[in-house]
Structure 1
Amino acid sequence: MGRHLSTFLLLFLFTNSVFSWKKDEFRNCNQTPFCKRARSRKPGSCSLIAYDVSISDGDLVAKLIAKQSSEDISEGQTRPTKPLVLTISAYQDGVMRMKIDEDQSLSPRKKRFEVPDVIEPGFLNKKLWLQRLKEDKSENGPMFVVYLSEGYEAVVRHDPFEVFVREGGENGKKVLSLNSNGLFDFEQLREKEEGEDWHENFRSHTDKRPYGSQSISFDVSFYDADFVYGIPEHATSLALNPTRGPGVEFSEPYRLFNLDVFEYVHDSPFGLYGSIPFMISHGKSRGSSGFFWLNAAEMQIDVLGTGWNDENSSVLMLPSDQKRVDTLWMSEAGVVDAFFFVGPGPKDVVRQYTSVTGAPAMPQLFATAYHQCRWNYRDEEDVFNVDAKFDEHDIPYDVLWLDIEHTDGKKYFTWDRMLFPNPEEMQKKLAGKGRRMVTIVDPHIKRDDSYYIHKEASEKGYYVRDSTGKDFDGWCWPGSSSYLDMLNPEIRSWWAEKFSYENYVGSTPSLYIWNDMNEPSVFNGPEVTMPRDALHYGDVEHRDLHNAYGYYFHMATANGLVKRGDGKDRPFVLSRAFFPGSQRHGAIWTGDNTADWDQLRVSVPMLLTLGLTGISFSGADVGGFFGNPDTELLVRWYQLGAYYPFFRAHAHHDTKRREPWLFGERNTEIIKESIRVRYMLLPYYYTLFREANASGIPVIRPLWMEFPTDEKTFSNDEAFMVGNSILVQGIFTERAKHVDVYLPGDQLWYDMKTGTAYKGGVTHKLEALEESIPSFQRAGTIIPRKDRSRRSSTQMENDPYTLVIALNSSKAAEGELYIDDGKSFEFQQGAYIHRRFTFSNGKLTSTNIASATAAPHKFASHCTIERIIVVGLSPDPKTALVEPGNHKADVERGPLLLRGGPGPSSVLTIRKPNVNIADDWTIAIL
């Protein structure tokens, strides 16, 4: 303890202000000059026109210049701005890319930063070469039109400048537009004039700003939209509330600036740990569209409420019969590199967005199960005691986590050998039960000359530099620390090598990684992060790439685990900071939440928003990181968290221990059942993760993604869909006696615990049961399960399956099952099984739906189906005939769906049909 005392005292001085939310520690819009300037602009203030419009190299290219700077300017007039270059490109599947930058031929002071390594390389091969430019007339002058994709056109208006996508034809309705309200502004780089002060100050920090103001702002409109969603990360409702306009209660924009915020508050537009500048709209009449701005600088976004600009309505260039949602996007730096997604369905937009930024990585199977974490499990004895208690109470888990205290003096890739003298043996003991470990590795490197990572990084010049060119020195958990410059591919490659078994002494193949504090967190920095004038690879300022720093760190760590296994095994890396493309590298969690009911509730819209923006593998700390949840809250959190895509319990070191068996026998049983429900559903979840990996469609979904015309779902963020088959309703109030559950659609829903049928399109007032939260299977679906209780997912590998069939009004249903080896990349070479189950006319059929390139001989499963549960079949059949083989299976009534009580008479079970999960077969109910 003594050797850490002085460091602790210094850290306390720097970090006391960040251990809880303090609003004045962080900037608001009025304290952020670029935001304040952009918000002060009036509609119609943009003077740019588009001219010299042509097709070049398959793109539409134009110059943007102020009206008074066009070719016919009067002699003696000066040009108030240099021309900007506009480029529009079309891509397959309804994606339009628009870039606006300074004209490099006019030699600006520097090349503005464009974010590398985010766009999926394969996307660029999907470019459609524009062939023909046509000109339409309008009241405001010419419009230049190009074919975008089937049924859609891209249009550039000459005066005033506007870009929009419309449905095909001169009278086609608009889908998305930029600068329809005339708010576009682009601050160009220029020479400093005498007497100008380019410094900006916040509290005790000064930002030198060597290039002056270089901000960009513009309005984006979404047509025929009822709501807009997206732009995580904020602890707010799923449908984004207006931030400006009549009756708006708060006036701060949604901020995108990665920050280490302790005990963040709910219902706030304040930015948190990650930033994804992607927004998706949805409305009943048309469906969905999306807009993405690839920019890693600080961003602020206003959602403009109805009537926000009534006094300026004359400047609008909109047909009066087309409703819209207007938004204002503001960034400190960078370029305009924006993508328009035409939809029209919500799943189409998500597919289009992930075609640009990449589909989510396919996780290992163990990672989709339950994780147990705490800051910190003290030593090896503590680890083994916790592990043994899970077995004693017959509670499954797959991963035990170690926080920063496991290291030697908070130096990553090391072990405190007093507390963890035999890390390899410890990991192997857990691995013997099919369990893994995760250790934390953060981006701050302790400045200690005896620490080999620091010594090597310092000698090689691998650290981010301060504005004077010296290694940046900031404070984090180890005290004086420097931060690796992950923008540099060479440094990312060097970092990846540190995860080899030779370099990370004490690691084994069952050890995986957690990246925390990678916003980056700097305790003595402005807003608890790195100064904006710090310098990266290529003399890029930190202001340009701040929001992507954690993304590059996550990427390098994931690549390290792939290299460690010679490219054979999929990595598992959890990251707190994120950016577009993070889904390609691993899981995300919502950071330092608090043990209260509001935080439980807000976890649902936060995770749904992440899913909409590509990040399917996400979760919130079950129980809340800060504070001590009462027993009821903890139980309710486990019941909800069992349905999160990433299911982990975690707690701060100042909280009381809260392992599942510490709250009395009754509550231990309820928590155990919640965890077991997740294990039963692992085959279904794994199938959904494969769907996300193939298409980008998230594992958990807003109700409106599955029911896009049901207006009652558009602002519902207390319930969610797991895939297309399961609806989950959380319970978010203490001592609740009843819970209202809206079940969308016109089909039936079946209670997953009892099989009781409920009508869709109705809000049901249900009893709030102590032992579970409401969950329902949608009629017309089939869910695969594994019902045998084991210690871990690994030990379930050869267990038989159960199929749960929920029949619709036509007495039909369908579902899928995806299986691979659960760990390697061989599925990419076709080593997997993919089956579709269809029930129709009293017959269940299993068919192969693997792609034509699949090679199922590379992966085989000998698992069988031990039970088939059919819900909603009213006749009383006597037997079931299995083909091939022409043998009969027993049929009986009445088992429950999930553990807990007798099922209704409409629940039928076929026992031991003895068919292989990988084969073609049919089972006819007679």
Structure 2
Amino acid sequence: MITNTEVEKRGNQHPSHIVDFKHDNDKIYFTTHNGVILELTILRDSAIRFRYATEHVFEPDFSYALNDDVSLGYNELEVKEEIPEYVITTSKIKIYVQKADLKIQIVDLDDVVICEDELGFHWEENFDYGGNIVKMSKVCHSGESYYGMGDKASHTNLKGKRVNNWVTDSYAYGKDQEPLYKAIPFYVGLKENIAYGVFFDNSFSTYFDFANEKRNVTSFWADGGEMNYYFFYGPKIGQVVEAYTDLTGVPELPPLWALGFHQSKWSYYPEKKVKELASSFRKLKIPCDAIYLDIDYMEGFRCFTWNNRRFPNPKKMVEELEKDGFKTVTMIDPGIKIDRDYWVYQQAMDNGFFCRRADGPHFKGKVWPGECKFPDFTNPEVREWWGGLYKEMISDMGVHGVWNDMNEPAVMEVPTKTANLDVRHDYDGHPCSHRKAHNVYGMQMVRATYDGVKKFTFPKRPFVLTRAAYSGTQRYCATWTGDNVATWEHLWIANVQMQRMCMSGYSFVGSDIGGFAEQPNGELFARWVQLGIFHPFCRVHSSGDHGEQEPWSFGDEITDIVRKFIELRYQLLPYLYTMFYKYINNGLPMLQSLVLYDQEDTQTHFRTDEFLFGEQILVCPVQEPNAKGRRMYLPKGKWFNFWNDEVIEGGVEKWIPADIDEIPVFVKEGAMIPKYPVQQYVGEKEIKELEIDVYYTEGIENSSVYEDQQDGYDYKKGRYSLRKFRLRGKKNELIIQQFKDGNFITPYTKFKMTFHGLPFKIGSIEIDNEVVNPKDIKLNGNNVIEVSKDFTELHLTGQ
């Protein structure tokens, strides 16, 4: 890896003075005497693109990361030439461009510095491959913190760290190991309570140094390509993340079953074993929605085939599993076995779909089937062909979801673990080597998979899962954090990775619960399930080499604990589904690190363990053995202990008891948490009433619940139900207002409301300004009532 200092030593070139300036609508161009052009694009008042060319020439402007529907448009734009600099002003920020050296300084409207160049843009020729190593260095201010960057296995605050984005099969990776499975070159900076973001959209191997080598410098660079980055101004972290998410996109709503509990192993086979697994879930009444088939369902690991000895009638098996409430998810890898009698291989050969080396021969690499060739998924024709291969599996066999693994691409028995750098790619009409295409290879594979699965599951919604990803991959699929290990350290890693991924625009994410490599004991497995049910994607997966890893594998006590928490996951499905709705509509991360939740509180800046599940549930996993509780930090405000309704004033670190059957879970005061009854799988029961837990506050809090048919696309035609609640509490009264949107008619007609922490005994109840008899709403003591789902205002008054 090229270090910062090495770059400084080796023929660095810098922009010289500006000799030309041009303003063309939303673009502003600055040209220097030595041929550097800065193209500065105003996307929005708080979102700016900086793109640099050398030798007066830009590369073709193309990116896989960007969302087609990105929001564009600004309110104000003024460009002024002053003596030492140009000044660009929007309604949110000012940008100073130095005439002498093209350095940039970005300030708010009060001239408070947000982000500024140190050396700024500089470059050197890459003598090994041609082109430039492009680099940007920024000033790291005192007290500045950094977050994001995808699935890095390190502290949530990246200050003092150096990371590398080169999508890598990192089996049994360790804490702080670099690089990992994903390349998400986006970070959030936080300086004096002002948040900003930088997205370096460059698919080559990229590096970020967060004041590691020099304590006052943060820098990022790439082995090739352009210096092309986007700057987002907050000033809140949430605003930065939402802006980045808007730029790179969000997925469609998944089918609700995809948010249930999933069970996987390498591998469940033959068919008898799969049916026994399904039967055990139902017999033990442990909810589960999906069972995964790893590579052993295939004939000799050939993708899109079935081993007829292990699975003599897969269509019938999938149908029988579905009748019992299980969806089937199958794995598909990119490596295609070299076998002239194998139809997929022959089709790709006949059409020239495989990747080639620089001098023409096909690229070959060893994976599970042996010697394989690899489709070029950066070719749109190949993607269309690949999507079509799913027809038999989805349309004919009835498989419900697809899991793309090994798509870094992983290659065995070579030092690099991946394809040769001279492999050629189409890159959607911008031919390049694997140096540029590597980080997007898995992304384009799963994009092709998504398109195919979506086509053949219609009118249902697709479910697709990937291991490798680049920025923007979240548009197509869920992801997980790869081959982790059954250790307490990896439980900690999983927690920070989920928070980091959500802050990096990729919320539909989970880990292999219990650990993929090695074997957890019952305590670790239970603690991991307790964490995993609060992650957007919830799946147990293991290598199977060291024993069983099903919910019942560790004795009755652990089984009961696991069942309790999986049941809680199913109760919270409407809350989780609403979180997903907010994520895809507003870019709001489904999990929030404490610093995202309250950046003004400096105590949150270095917290790793606690996080917000949605906006109103605070979770803190237990991450060490033999614990009877743990210390945790509760952010400011009042929080109800989920298990016993004890109210704690936040802004403090406290010891919270949490024996093996509990972890610390708190609910924000004023929250209204919707819940379904426990089901063994999504759709098992008709929801006859929506339970809502109402947590009193003396003040105002807003909550909501989104619902639709749980699958299909009618929600896009207005067939959804969005209920927004405004709760206002006073010393002797509680008022709940409801605002409804959408024309989906929910199957239930009533809310069953349970009140927590009411400081008064209910004396009178008004619904839409009419006094009601407590008997008519089944007032149970002081805390449970049943009301029509269609009320506009509910008013409780104390005696």
C-alpha deviation, 1:767, in angstroms: 2.1
Q: Residue 922 of structure 1 aligns to a residue in which SS? A: strand
Partner of 1:176: 115
Partner of 2:450: 558
C-alpha deviation, 1:306, in angstroms: 9.5
Partner of 1:712: 603
2:122 is aligned, of 181, 185, 191, to: 185
Corresponding position: 1:292 with 2:199:
yes
- Distance in 2 separating the partners of 1:821 and 1:661: 32
2:95 is aligned, of 141, 154, 161, to: 154
Q: Residue 661 of structure 1 aligns to a residue in which SS? A: coil
- State the Cα deviation string for residues 711-746 of structure 1 (Å, max 9, x = none): 11111111100111111011111111330021110x
Corresponding position: 1:800 with 2:709:
no
C-alpha deviation, 1:405, in angstroms: 0.4
Amino acid at match of 1:302: D
Residues 211-290 of structure 1 aligned to structure 2 (within 5 Å): 212=130, 214-221=132-139, 226-243=144-161, 253-268=162-177, 270-283=178-191, 285-290=192-197
Amino acid at match of 1:862: P
1:384 is aligned, of 269, 275, 289, to: 275
Cα 1:602/1:823, change in 2 over 3 Å: same
Partner of 1:89: 41
- Distance in 2 separating the partners of 1:867 and 1:831: 24
Residues 624-639 of structure 1 aligned to structure 2 (within 5 Å): 624-639=515-530
Corresponding position: 1:910 with 2:784:
yes
Partner of 2:653: 763
C-alpha deviation, 1:274, in angstroms: 0.4
- Distance in 2 separating the partners of 1:625 and 1:584: 26
Partner of 2:294: 403
- Distance in 2 separating the partners of 1:912 and 1:231: 46
- Distance in 2 separating the partners of 1:923 and 1:572: 42
Amino acid at match of 1:552: Q
C-alpha deviation, 1:789, in angstroms: 2.2
Cα 1:120/1:306, change in 2 over 3 Å: same
- Distance in 2 separating the partners of 1:670 and 1:833: 34
- Distance in 2 separating the partners of 1:872 and 1:40: 65
- Distance in 1 separating the partners of 2:604 and 2:511: 23
C-alpha deviation, 1:120, in angstroms: 1.5
1:682 is aligned, of 573, 582, 601, to: 573
Partner of 2:719: 831
Q: Residue 133 of structure 1 aligns to a residue in which SS? A: strand
Residues 315-394 of structure 1 aligned to structure 2 (within 5 Å): 326-394=217-285
Contact preservation (8 Å) 2:120, 2:137: yes
- Distance in 2 separating the partners of 1:767 and 1:360: 38
Partner of 1:875: 760
Residues 613-632 of structure 1 aligned to structure 2 (within 5 Å): 613-632=504-523
C-alpha deviation, 1:469, in angstroms: 1.5
Contact preservation (8 Å) 2:767, 2:792: no
- Distance in 1 separating the partners of 2:204 and 2:584: 28
Cα 1:415/1:35, change in 2 over 3 Å: farther
Contact preservation (8 Å) 1:233, 1:271: no
User: Normalising to structure 1: TM-score of the pair?
Assistant: 0.82
C-alpha deviation, 1:36, in angstroms: 6.5
- Distance in 1 separating the partners of 2:44 and 2:715: 26
- Distance in 1 separating the partners of 2:763 and 2:369: 70
1:862 is aligned, of 729, 747, 763, to: 747
Contact preservation (8 Å) 1:821, 1:832: yes
Partner of 2:675: 785
- Distance in 2 separating the partners of 1:415 and 1:614: 36
Partner of 1:60: 28
C-alpha deviation, 1:662, in angstroms: 2.1
- Distance in 1 separating the partners of 2:315 and 2:764: 54
Amino acid at match of 1:50: I
C-alpha deviation, 1:154, in angstroms: 2.2
- Distance in 1 separating the partners of 2:765 and 2:307: 61
- State the Cα deviation string for residues 239-265 of structure 1 (Å, max 9, x = none): 00314xxxxxxxxx3111000011000
Contact preservation (8 Å) 2:450, 2:477: yes
C-alpha deviation, 1:39, in angstroms: 5.8
Partner of 1:18: none
Cα 1:130/1:868, change in 2 over 3 Å: closer
- State the Cα deviation string for residues 760-818 of structure 1 (Å, max 9, x = none): 111111223121101000112111111x22210222452421111112233x5431100
Partner of 2:704: 816
Contact preservation (8 Å) 1:360, 1:692: no
Residues 627-706 of structure 1 aligned to structure 2 (within 5 Å): 627-706=518-597
Cα 1:437/1:91, change in 2 over 3 Å: same
Partner of 1:19: none
Contact preservation (8 Å) 1:363, 1:586: no
- Distance in 2 separating the partners of 1:389 and 1:602: 31
Cα 1:530/1:919, change in 2 over 3 Å: farther
Corresponding position: 1:116 with 2:4:
no
- Distance in 2 separating the partners of 1:478 and 1:700: 38
Contact preservation (8 Å) 1:619, 1:645: yes
Amino acid at match of 2:202: N
Contact preservation (8 Å) 1:867, 1:912: yes
- Distance in 2 separating the partners of 1:414 and 1:104: 52
- Distance in 2 separating the partners of 1:41 and 1:868: 68
Corresponding position: 1:773 with 2:720:
no
Cα 1:775/1:157, change in 2 over 3 Å: same
Corresponding position: 1:924 with 2:796:
yes
- Distance in 2 separating the partners of 1:626 and 1:114: 42
Q: Residue 528 of structure 1 aligns to a residue in which SS? A: coil
Q: Residue 121 of structure 1 aligns to a residue in which SS? A: coil
Contact preservation (8 Å) 2:152, 2:500: no
Cα 1:493/1:224, change in 2 over 3 Å: farther
Q: Residue 348 of structure 2 aligns to a residue in which SS? A: helix
- Distance in 2 separating the partners of 1:650 and 1:735: 24
C-alpha deviation, 1:411, in angstroms: 1.0
Contact preservation (8 Å) 1:587, 1:646: yes
Partner of 2:359: 468
Farther-moved stretch of structure 1 (451-460 vs 798-807): 798-807
Amino acid at match of 1:758: I
- Distance in 1 separating the partners of 2:310 and 2:33: 66
- Distance in 2 separating the partners of 1:303 and 1:675: 39
C-alpha deviation, 1:884, in angstroms: 8.3
Partner of 2:19: 51
Partner of 1:751: 641
Q: Output the aligned Cα RMSD.
A: 2.4
Contact preservation (8 Å) 1:867, 1:909: no
1:534 is aligned, of 423, 441, 444, to: 423
For this pair of structures, how many residues does the alignment match? 789
Partner of 1:312: none
Contact preservation (8 Å) 2:181, 2:482: yes
Name the % identity: 27
Amino acid at match of 2:158: L
- State the Cα deviation string for residues 385-429 of structure 1 (Å, max 9, x = none): 111111111110111001000011111111111111111111112
C-alpha deviation, 1:84, in angstroms: 2.4
Corresponding position: 1:37 with 2:3:
no
Contact preservation (8 Å) 2:763, 2:796: no
Q: Residue 609 of structure 1 aligns to a residue in which SS? A: helix
- Distance in 1 separating the partners of 2:82 and 2:274: 71
- State the Cα deviation string for residues 84-131 of structure 1 (Å, max 9, x = none): 2210010225100111124566xxxxx7465433212232x7145986
Amino acid at match of 2:122: D
C-alpha deviation, 1:878, in angstroms: 5.3
C-alpha deviation, 1:360, in angstroms: 3.7
Contact preservation (8 Å) 2:394, 2:400: no
Contact preservation (8 Å) 1:780, 1:808: yes
Amino acid at match of 1:308: R
